[in-house]
Amino acid sequence: MITFHEPEPHSLVNSLVVFRSLLIFSVEGDRSNMKVLVLGLPRTGTQSLADALTHLGFGPVYHMRDVGKNNHQGFWIEAIEVKFESPPGEKQGPALGRKKFDTVLAGFEGVADFPAAIFPEELLDAYPEAAVVLSTRDEDGWYASMMSTLWHHHTRRREQLQATRGGEPLSAPQLSMARLADKYHHHCWNDDFPAYGRETFRRHNALVKESAARTGRRFLEYRVGEGWDRLCEFLGVAVPQIPFPRSDDWAEYKKMVALEKSNEGQRRE
């Protein structure tokens, strides 16, 4: 089910906010030209959607895969600390405003996936001109996918680090990516996804919907299995004559996990 929410037609406040944002952008060429915020959690088709948006002319789209290649781990670790670890009353404000986000998002026309999706309210306030897409899927399918990818990798990495303690050290980029993962696993589901993952899924989706309504944004709740039609309708572009992207950086990892489970089952027989 896709849900459209249009802003109030006579909302002078929202119009002035968008006008101010566009005016500032026109005189500061190094600012981002943010068009679409995809704020669904990981494993909701964010990579496929990022590739689809890029094909439709809304790109490039900042995704988790851009963090390591641009050495942005430190930025997102600091942002998570500001959001979750600052004293009360200091979580919001210039520290996580547009100027701060533009240090990594300038040059991108969209965001999708973690770590950006950890900051739905902040990004909505920072980029009032951007449309909002909440990528989602059925809860059971999402939970199973998270268990076999992000959570499995997180717990496996910790076990490997403990087993090889004192052995070959990780590289600096590997350590910073591991620290970033530790941060979001801790703050998003209390470092216990099996117990708190489903609660996070429901709470996050509700927050995105409420925040989009609060800011009077164009909003689309969307599942990538629905294909091009309604996404293109929402964005006001023509439907391309190519298949919808099916992208998944975790595909090989999931195959490895499935093989490990199969081998383990055979050993128990």
Residue pair 113/50 in contact (Cβ under 8 Å)? The answer is yes
CA pair distance 100, 76, nearest whole angstrom: 11
Helix (H, G, I), strand (E, B) or coil at 133: strand
Number of domains making up the chain: 1
**pLDDT of res. 199:** 98
Rg (the chain; Cα; Å): 19
**pLDDT of res. 193:** 97
Largest CA distance in the chain: 69
CA pair distance 102, 80, nearest whole angstrom: 16
Residue pair 110/34 in contact (Cβ under 8 Å)? The answer is yes
**pLDDT of res. 23:** 39
Find the CATH number of the domain harbouring 60: 3.40.50.300
| Residues 6+ positions from 46 with CB-CB distance below 8 Å | 38, 40, 63, 112, 113, 117, 135
**pLDDT mean by block of 10 residues, the chain; 269 residues:** 43 37 41 91 95 96 95 96 82 74 96 97 96 98 94 80 59 85 96 98 98 96 96 97 83 64 58
**pLDDT of res. 22:** 39
**pLDDT of res. 157:** 75
Q: Which of 56, 113, 13, 95 is nearest to 227 (CA)?
A: 56
What's the pTM value of the predicted model, to 2 decimals?
0.80
Structural domain boundaries, residue 161:
4-268
**pLDDT of res. 247:** 77
Tokens standing for residue 22: 């566009």
Handedness of CA 249, 252, 253, 255 (dihedral sign): positive
